[in-house]
């Protein structure tokens, strides 16, 4: 495990002074990036060629590898958040910021190669950018009187799983701004202006602290392809008890639901798919930082790197 500073996309500086874990993503795990080879996301049904575990690394020669080319039509029509169709025409593509691979490794056709290996799909799937697509994830925690921590979680519309209320970093946006914006959009979409004002001042205090940086790097996300993948910067924020009472929650348009999710034995010791993508692993790292890691079960150990 290596330590790194999370850097912002536009300035390349470290906004928060704490070191964050730049974990090896799925690289060291027994089965490498399993979600990136899955069809859990409905749009990827029949869009992946099977890739056995041992053939995931690019270093393993596999001349017969026949991935399926898939770029979703919503991406191919090139909305503002998406790259041009032809990766080889993008100036400076190799030098795009990546927490994992800098410079990016390009295939002979000019497309970046997923640093964690084959996924069974080429193209960009549902992702807009060739190479790394950057997200930011705020883990907002509070401690219950019985010592169990709870986290603000949203229910995602794409897979129906509970998740951290994070989202994509907009072009030119710094991670600290994305963390607050996404949290507000996904979990704090309040109609009542008085509630909105109360939330806004609670968030000033919470996000003003910068939180603590717990992870930056690759995410084993079901939307990943051989040429486009998710990376994220995860920050943890611990709510003082008085503030948590002032934090009304209401899901926004991207989320089907929002709640305080108890990080109890059942969740932490259970199946990693209880939360979206690598989010259970990020939550374990966050709890370790705030001293709230009370559950030590064999499967929770597996969720760590
Ligand atoms: C989500 C983040 C997540 C990232 C990578 C984004 O769509 O909003 O919460 O970490 O994808 O999976």
Does the beta carbon of 135 lie inside 6 Å of ligand 1?
Answer: yes
27-81 pLDDT tens trace: 444 689 999 999 999 999 999 999 999 999 999 999 999 999 999 999 999 999 9
pLDDT at 186: 87
251-283 pLDDT tens trace: 887 889 999 999 999 998 888 889 999 999 999
Separation of alpha carbons 290 and 209, rounded Å: 14
pLDDT at 293: 58
What CATH homologous superfamily does 2-303 map to?
Nucleoside Triphosphate Pyrophosphohydrolase (3.90.79.10)
80-134 pLDDT tens trace: 999 999 999 999 999 999 999 889 999 999 999 999 999 999 999 999 999 999 9
CB contact at 8 A, 161 and 153 = no
Q: Which atom of ligand 1 is nearest to the CA of 254?
A: 8
Residue from 155, 173, 219 whose mutation best tests the ligand 1 pocket (most atoms within 8 A of CB):
219
Separation of alpha carbons 65 and 31, rounded Å: 19
Separation of alpha carbons 171 and 6, rounded Å: 17
Residue from 184, 276, 286 whose mutation best tests the ligand 1 pocket (most atoms within 8 A of CB):
276
236-250 pLDDT tens trace: 999 887 777 777 788
Beta strands in 72-202 (DSSP E): 121-125, 131-143, 149-156, 162-163, 167-168
- Buried (b) or exposed (e) across 138-148, using 16+ Cβ within 10 A? bbbbbbeeeeb
Q: What's the pLDDT band for 300 if we cut at 50, 70, 90?
A: very low
Q: Nearest C-alpha to atom 6 of ligand 1 is from which residue?
A: 167
Specify the pTM: 0.87
| CA atoms within 13 Å, Cβ hemisphere of 225 | 26
Does the beta carbon of 163 lie inside 6 Å of ligand 1?
Answer: yes
Q: Where are the domains of the chain?
A: 2-303
pLDDT at 250: 83
């Amino acid at each position: 495990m290596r330590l790194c500073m999370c850097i912002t996309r536009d300035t390349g500086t470290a906004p928060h002074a704490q070191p964050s874990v730049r974990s090896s993503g799925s690289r060291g795990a027994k089965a490498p990036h399993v979600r990136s080879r899955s069809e859990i996301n409905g749009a990827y049904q029949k869009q992946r060629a099977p890739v056995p575990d041992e053939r995931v690394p690019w270093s393993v020669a596999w001349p017969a590898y026949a991935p399926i080319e898939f770029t979703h039509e919503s991406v191919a029509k090139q909305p503002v958040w998406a790259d041009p169709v032809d990766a080889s025409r993008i100036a400076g593509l190799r030098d795009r910021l990546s927490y994992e691979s800098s410079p990016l490794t390009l295939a002979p056709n000019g497309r970046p190669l997923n640093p964690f290996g084959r996924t069974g799909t080429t193209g960009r799937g549902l992702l807009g950018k060739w190479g790394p697509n950057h997200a930011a994830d705020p883990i907002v925690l509070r401690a219950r009187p019985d010592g169990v921590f709870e986290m603000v979680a949203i229910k995602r519309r794409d897979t129906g799983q509970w998740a951290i209320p994070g989202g994509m970093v907009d072009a030119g946006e710094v991670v600290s701004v994305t963390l607050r914006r996404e949290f507000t959009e996904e979990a704090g979409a309040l109609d009542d202006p008085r509630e909105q004002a109360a939330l806004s001042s609670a968030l000033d205090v919470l996000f003003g602290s910068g939180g603590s940086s717990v992870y930056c790097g690759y995410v084993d996300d079901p939307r990943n392809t051989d040429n486009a993948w998710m990376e994220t910067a995860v920050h943890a924020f611990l709510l003082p008890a008085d503030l948590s009472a002032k934090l009304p929650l209401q899901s926004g348009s991207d989320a089907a639901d929002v709640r305080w999710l108890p990080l109890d034995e059942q969740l932490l010791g259970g199946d990693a798919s209880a939360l979206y993508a690598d989010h259970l692993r990020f939550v374990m790292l966050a709890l370790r930082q705030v001293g709230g890691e009370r559950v030590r079960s064999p499967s929770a150990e597996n969720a760590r790197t």
